[in-house]
């Protein structure tokens, strides 16, 4: 999981990841991330190259497009 977090920290530094982190769900651990990509192909590449996915530890993604974002100014 250290490699997984480092992977997303690097994408945060590059401006691809907007925010990410673990979610305190009483049903079990999972994480949430918001990324900025230009294509579905780019998003799939990010998911496929995640060290947690490559390690085959059971990590998986559910990907949903965000139709609009409201941000603080």
Residues 12-24 have pLDDT tens digits of: 999 999 999 999 9
Q: Where are the domains of the chain?
A: 2-54
Task: Tell me how far apart the alpha carbons of residues 18 and 11 are, in angstroms, rounded to a whole number.
Answer: 9
Residues sharing a CB contact under 8 Å with residue 20, sequence separation 6 or more, in sequence order: 8, 12, 31, 32, 33, 34
Task: Tell me how far apart the alpha carbons of residues 11 and 28 are, in angstroms, rounded to a whole number.
Answer: 25
Which percentage of the chain shows pLDDT scores above 70? Answer: 100
Q: Residue 45: which pLDDT band, with cuts at 50, 70 and 90? A: very high
What pTM does this model have?
Answer: 0.86
pLDDT at 73 over 90: no
């Amino acid at each position: 999981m250290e490699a997984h977090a480092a992977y997303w920290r690097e994408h945060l530094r590059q401006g691809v990841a907007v925010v990410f982190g673990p979610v305190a769900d009483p049903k079990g651990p999972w994480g949430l991330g918001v990324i900025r990509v230009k294509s579905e192909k780019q998003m799939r590449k990010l998911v496929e190259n995640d060290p947690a996915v490559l390690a085959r530890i059971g990590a998986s993604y559910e990907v949903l497009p965000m139709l609009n974002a409201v941000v603080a100014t």
